Amino acid sequence: MPVIKAFLVLIVLSGLAAGGLYAASNRGLISDQYLSSALVLFNDQDQLTQLTTAAQNQVLTLSSLAEVAASQSGSVLGKVIDSEKEAPPLPQRAFEFARYSYCQEVIKDYQSRTEETIPAAQ
């Protein structure tokens, strides 16, 4: 999660910087010469493609390393961690929790009624 958060912060900051440059160039605070040299860096499509490919390769490598780490930690802990096991859908989990809570309340109610009717043995 921290990687995604950092990436989003980077995107927001670059957007703010681009917006600031655009506003400053419209007001004449920055000459077009500086702005055009900054935009040349973003127009190199080959670099962007290479960067995207490298990022995809790194994500694939990290996912395979995560699988290895999960299997190794499972062997250390004495149990296998099944990461492919899917959790039941949220509506089903909510229904099961509601049924469980209802059953708990029924049991509490029954126990309170039976304690009232049956005096404790002394």
Rg (CA), the chain: 30
**Predicted confidence (pLDDT) at residue 121 exceeds the cutoff of 60:** no
Query: Residue 67: which residues within 8 A CB-CB, separation 6 or more?
Result: 83
**pLDDT tens by residue, 70-102:** 777 766 665 555 555 677 788 889 999 999 999
Torsion sign, CA atoms 48, 49, 50, 55: positive
Query: Residue 93: which residues within 8 A CB-CB, separation 6 or more?
Result: 87
Which pTM value belongs to this model?
Answer: 0.30
